[in-house]
Amino acid sequence: MHTETHVPDRLIASDRVEGTAVYDPAGERLGTVERFMVDKASGQAEYAVLGFGGLFGFGNRHYPLPWKALTYDTGRGGYVVNVSKEQIEGAPSYETGEEPRYDRDYDARVYGYYGILA
C-alpha cells in the first residue's frame, strides 16, 4: 500500500507558470498566463498577463490580471480567477508592442477594475 502523504509543492517554476491555463469559476478556460510581472526589488509577482495565444480576434490582446486574483487549483493544474469572460473582455488590456508602464495609475485602474486591493 502506498502510504506516502502527498505534499503539494509550495513553489512553482516561472517557466511553468507561463503557459498555464486560466479558468473562470465555472471551469471555462479563459486563456493562458503568457508571462507575469514581478517587482524587480522585492521579487513579488504583481500581475499575470492573460492571453489567448491565437492569431485572430483577441489573439493580439493581453490582459494583466492582479496576481492576487488568481488561485492555483492543483486538481485542475491551472489558475482560477473569479471573473467571467465578459468581465475580461471589458478589462484593461493592451496590444502586442504597446506594453503599459505599470505605474501607480495603471495599478489603480487594473486593481480597481477587478475589485482587488493593490
109 near a copy of itself (CB under 8 A): no
47 near a copy of itself (CB under 8 A): yes
Look up cell 492582479; give the residue: 66
Separation between Cα atoms, residue 70 and residue 60, nearest integer Å: 22
Among 25, 27, 29, 44, binds a copy of itself (CB under 8 A): 44
**Cell triple for residue 100?**
503599459
Cα angle for residues 41, 103, 78 (degrees, 5° grid): 70
36 near a copy of itself (CB under 8 A): yes
Q: Is 16 exposed, middle or buried (0-12, 13-18, 19+ CB in 10 A)?
A: exposed
**Which 62-91 positions form the footprint of a copy of itself (CB under 8 A)?**
67-68, 72
101 near a copy of itself (CB under 8 A): yes
28 near a copy of itself (CB under 8 A): no
- Summarize as ranges the residues that interact with a copy of itself (CB under 8 A): 7, 9-15, 17-18, 35-47, 49, 67-68, 72, 101-103
